[in-house]
Amino acid sequence: MIHCAKSDQGRCCDVTGHLGNFFDHALKSWLKLIIGNYCKNDTVSCRAPIKNNENTEHPNEDTTPHSKVSSPARHEYNLEVLYCVLTKKLFPDHHQIYGVDIFQSETGVKLVKFLLLTLTMIVFMHKLIRQIGWENDDKYTLLDFLLHDSNPVILDSFTFFFIGRLYKRSGIDCLIFIMPVLISCLYASSITNIWFLQRSLSSNIVNPWPWQLIVYSLIFGSVILVILAKHIVHSIRDNTYFYRICEVCWSLFFFVTPHAFWNNRHFHHWFMFWLFGMHCNRNEWVS
């Protein structure tokens, strides 16, 4: 368990006891791979070493945490600091202001945060891809989005929030959540500028796929199959496979089946990310 000094006045983020949820369990797994496996058995206290104030023999010797700390202890300290930075929320999830209920629970606060983050990311990407010069529709303005596409986006966000179990996360407005979202947006926007990816997965494929696209699809498809297999195995292990199958069937019926009867059906990559991503909602790093 990782412990930080608790403070609501900005000294450090309180992340004690959060390793059991979707967000922190995955983060701890990745940090242990990156920094080093110094946190053993999920029970180690990664706490900054205490300064020795009883150094009477050498009063001028530096006794700060970084002076007499072994390498593993320094890594544990760095793990704690990095964890605090990545999990620090911009705003608290309190559903009350001065004792008055603004929302019924913290779920409502997290939902509003997710919607605001989604809309903010759309505005940011709308400006960015035009500055960079990536493929875009110059005639499509933010006003067009507000009038024609904002309602479907809000409904899609509601669906993603609940099926994706985002209400179980310990934070929406923190770097460990925002950074992958930003990277995903950049990736999905940039792939249309790669020449061999300028093809569509639709019923009206005119030009055959080049070999580079075939290799890319095999690699990308293999990764998806591995993730699916992991989810299936873990769902069978903890006996949650039935309601997860129901979720997948419900999503396919309402979101995929209507498009299957279109003559110009097209499986858009943004739609694929949305559909696949919200079902990666388990408490493992693979999700």
pLDDT surpasses 90 at 196: no
Contact 58/49 with Cβ under 8 angstroms? no
89 closest CA partner among 178, 21, 165, 213 = 178
The answer to which of 60-74, 211-225, 261-275 has the lowest mean pLDDT is: 60-74
Give the C-alpha separation, 159 to 257, whole Å. 17
pLDDT surpasses 90 at 31: no
Give the C-alpha separation, 201 to 208, whole Å. 11
Where does the chain have alpha helices with state H?
22-35, 71-87, 106-132, 142-144, 150-163, 175-190, 211-237, 241-251, 257-260, 269-277
- pLDDT given at position 2: 42
Angle at which helices 175-190 and 269-277 cross, to 10°: 150
Burial of 163 (C-beta count, 10 Å sphere; 0-12/13-18/19+)? middle
Structure confidence by residue, pLDDT tens digits, 123-163 = 999 999 999 888 788 899 999 999 999 999 999 999 999 99
Average pLDDT (32-37) is: 49
101 strand-pairing partners:
96
Answer positive or negative: Cα dihedral of 102, 161, 167, 42: negative
Give the C-alpha separation, 107 to 128, whole Å. 31
- pLDDT given at position 104: 80
The model's pTM: 0.68
Counts of helices then strands in the chain (DSSP H, E): 10, 2
What are the extents of the domains in the chain? Answer: 22-87, 108-193, 198-287
Count of C-beta atoms within a 10 Å radius of residue 72:
12
266 strand-pairing partners:
202
